[in-house]
Amino acid sequence: MGKEKTKTALLEAGKKVFLEKGYNNAGIEAILQTAGVPKGSFYYYFESKEDFGLQVINHFAAIYQSNIDLYFDNESLSPLDRLRRYFESICERLESQQCRNGCLVGNLSQEMAAQSEVFRARLEEIFQDWVNRYAEVLDQAQRLGEIPSHLDVHELAEFWLNSWQGATLRAKATRGTGPLRTFLNIMFGYILQVQA
């Protein structure tokens, strides 16, 4: 493998192992094995396990961001349909692995927020980026009259992110997408007052 390819393989293996075992419990050996990369090369690419953890987070934050863009910048859909299709796509992705893994950013926040200020600050920054994207699309929907004008789109975007994280957590506990479907029903039906 070339250098860039090896590094990407390690970052992808990191995500996989973090999702299965969490950060603290993830051994560097297991990450190297998952990536199929020889021992000893880890510290060529990363200064420390913390540096690696942050690079895994940044790598996947960029991928998640492009996935949001894919839906939210799709001008052939109405703002509300962009939002709906995006969350339905995550629902399908989580369902494809029986909702076992949840969300990398949510999992690591739960585990690391109190243990590492560096991780907490970076993860919260990513959450805020997502909230801003949700607020933008909700604002567009409101300007077009797709959702009620009395809604505070910034507050709602915060609530949306947090509640979705909770639904993802509960989906892990129930091993099914029920909590995600309930989320979509309540958010679209009761709050945005449109059919889910």
Q: Output the smallest distance, CB 99 to a second copy, in A.
A: 9
Query: In this complex, which beta carbon is closest to a second copy, that of residue 49 or of residue 170?
Result: 170
Q: How far is the CB of 36 from a second copy (least distance, A)?
A: 23
In the 8-state DSSP scheme, what is residue 42? H
For the four alpha carbons of 148, 152, 157 and 162, in that order, the dihedral sign comes to: negative
Q: Which residues bind a second copy (CB under 8 A)?
A: 20-22, 24-25, 100-102, 106-107, 109-111, 113-115, 120, 123-124, 127, 151, 155-156, 158-159, 161-170, 172-175, 178-179, 182-183, 185-186, 190-191
Alpha carbons 87 and 81: distance in angstroms, whole number: 10
DSSP state of 99: T
Q: What are the phi and psi torsion angles at 147 (to 5°)? A: -130, 160
Q: Which is nearer to a second copy, 37 or 142 (CB)?
A: 142
Between 72 and 160, name the residue whose CB sits nearer to a second copy: 160
Question: At its nearest, how many Å lie between a second copy and the CB of residue 148?
Answer: 9
Give least dist CB 12 to a second copy, A.
18
H or E, element range at 26: none
How far apart, in whole angstroms, are the C-alpha atoms of residue 152 and residue 147?
11
Q: Are 172 and 102 in contact (CB under 8 A)?
A: yes
- Tracing tokens 């950013």 back to the chain, one arrives at 105
Residue nearer to a second copy on the CB measure, 59 or 120: 120
Identity of the residue, 3 or 100, whose beta carbon is nearer to a second copy in the bound complex: 100
